[in-house]
């Protein structure tokens, strides 16, 4: 299914993911992205090719042309659509940036609930 703006699919139960969505909304132009938690029926109905397990493992960004970018591959497309941070998308074109961003994303994503406990203490989180 094609959309007229990028659709950001994320783990709707992850505190870090939810805070990231808030930050992206605050730093992008109005209605730049559509946000869907991967746990929603709407997500499964509109994007049946995006499996819940993949979505829980890494964020998914569906571009208006239908192309799906997963995890760290989505960063440049997200950054270039932000008001003040679009220049940072160019960092992902530097030699070796793909290796570094892939390793960091995997490390972070695998530990995001533990990281949330550190960043946002006192809130109930999944372990």
Give Cα separations from 31 to 1, 43, 56, 90, 113 (angstroms).
18, 18, 24, 23, 28
Of 57, 68, 71, 77, the residue nearest 11 (C-alpha)? 57
Of 15, 84, 88, 3, the residue nearest 47 (C-alpha)? 3
| pLDDT for the residue 127 | 44
Helices (H) and strands (E) in the chain, counts: 6, 4
In tens, the pLDDT along 9-51 reads 999 999 999 999 999 999 998 889 999 999 999 999 999 999 9
- How does residue 123 score in pLDDT terms, banded at 50, 70 and 90? low
Out of 22-36, 60-74, 79-93, 111-125, least confident range = 111-125
């Amino acid at each position: 299914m094609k959309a007229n703006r990028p659709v950001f699919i994320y783990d709707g139960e992850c505190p870090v993911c939810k805070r990231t969505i808030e930050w992206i909304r605050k730093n992008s132009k109005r209605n730049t992205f559509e946000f869907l938690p991967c746990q929603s029926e709407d997500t499964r109905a509109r994007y049946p090719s995006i499996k819940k397990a993949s979505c829980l493992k890494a964020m998914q960004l569906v571009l208006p042309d239908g192309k799906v970018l997963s995890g760290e591959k989505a960063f440049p497309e997200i950054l270039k659509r932000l008001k003040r941070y679009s220049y940072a998308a160019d960092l992902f074109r530097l030699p070796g940036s793909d290796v570094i961003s892939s390793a960091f994303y995997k490390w972070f994503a695998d530990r995001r609930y533990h990281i949330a406990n550190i960043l946002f203490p006192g809130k109930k989180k999944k372990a």
